[in-house]
């Protein structure tokens, strides 16, 4: 359908999982993309899998918690493309699964620096470019864990950081609305990602209990997230901004 024809998109954490799925969908929809991440070899492996035309898939090694590296990433994109139309903030720190009272300062800051500060830095740099263009789409990949305390897991820095995504999304949406820029977030529930597969393979009983709590009775298919990200990035979405879309098979209905 090429709903993103000639769009230029940056996808952090684009070498695997949800980020890779979104990158693949964006390519099919006509966009040129830059996938960013901390491990260079994984980025180039993903580039090979995504497209034989490497001009359509750029790679950039970055830790989004570093202001200097984030600025360098957007400078690189501007040098290559002259514009940035879409930013997908998918890079994030994983759940530590420790109670807050047992969490060390380094464990706390490692999650907060990436999930909150890193997302803020990427949004800010994208906003500066998109304001000049008077067009842009920013999508923050959050989690239903920003809205609930997940049963069977410790609630901690991860949930706090994802909760902050909602207000960060709203404030950027408010500030950028007059420039033709929308800012929204996607909050997935339990999806069939490799980390979840690995975890549940060793915890079959827990998977069954979680499936019983999901009205749809199964883990989600990440292809659906790629389609949703495409829709939010397209020209047809102009009035939807500042929203977090929870997509969880009904888990948070309870």
CA distance 98 to 107: 9
pLDDT at 52: 78
CA distance 53 to 70: 25
pLDDT at 56: 95
pTM for the full predicted model? 0.96
pLDDT at 197: 84
Q: Is 239 a catalytic residue?
A: no
CA distance 114 to 130: 23
CA distance 168 to 120: 7
Report domain extents, the chain. 8-192+222-244
Cα 35 to its chain centre, rounded Å, is: 12
pLDDT at 204: 86
Strand partners, 36: 12, 60
CA distance 100 to 122: 27
What are the per-10-residue average pLDDT scores of the chain (254 residues)?
A: 93 96 97 97 96 90 98 98 98 90 95 97 98 98 94 90 97 98 97 85 88 94 97 97 98 93
Which residue is catalytic, options 44, 147, 152, 158?
A: 158
* C-alpha distances out from residue 135 to 8, 73, 129, 183, Å: 12, 19, 9, 11
pLDDT at 198: 83
Mention the CATH class of domain 8-192+222-244.
alpha beta
Strands, sheet with 8-12, edge to edge from the N-terminal-most edge strand: 57-61, 32-37, 8-12, 86-89, 136-141, 181-188, 244-247
pLDDT at 88: 98
pLDDT at 92: 94
pLDDT at 168: 98
């Amino acid at each position: 359908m090429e709903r993103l024809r000639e769009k230029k998109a940056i996808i952090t954490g684009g070498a695997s999982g949800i980020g890779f799925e979104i990158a693949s969908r964006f390519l099919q929809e006509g966009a040129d993309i830059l996938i960013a991440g901390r491990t260079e070899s994984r980025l180039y492996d993903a580039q090979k899998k995504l497209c034989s035309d490497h001009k359509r898939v750029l790679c950039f090694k970055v830790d989004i918690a570093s202001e200097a590296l984030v600025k360098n990433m957007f400078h690189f994109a501007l040098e290559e493309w002259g514009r940035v139309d879409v930013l997908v903030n998918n890079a994030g720190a994983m759940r530590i699964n420790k109670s807050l009272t047992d969490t060390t300062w380094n464990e706390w800051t490692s999650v907060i620096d990436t999930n909150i500060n890193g997302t803020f830095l990427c949004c800010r740099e994208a906003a500066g470019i998109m304001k000049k263009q008077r067009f842009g789409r920013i999508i923050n990949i959050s989690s239903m864990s920003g809205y609930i305390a997940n049963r069977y897991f410790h609630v901690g820095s991860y949930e706090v950081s994802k909760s902050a995504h909602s207000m960060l999304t709203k404030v950027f949406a408010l500030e950028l609305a007059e420039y033709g820029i929308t800012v929204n977030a996607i909050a997935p529930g339990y999806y069939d990602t490799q980390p979840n597969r690995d975890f549940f393979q060793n915890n079959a009983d827990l998977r069954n209990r979680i499936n019983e709590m999901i009205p749809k009775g199964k883990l989600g298919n990440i292809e659906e997230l790629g389609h949703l990200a495409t829709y939010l990035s397209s020209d047809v979405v102009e009035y939807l901004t500042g929203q977090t879309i929870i997509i969880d098979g009904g888990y948070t209905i309870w």
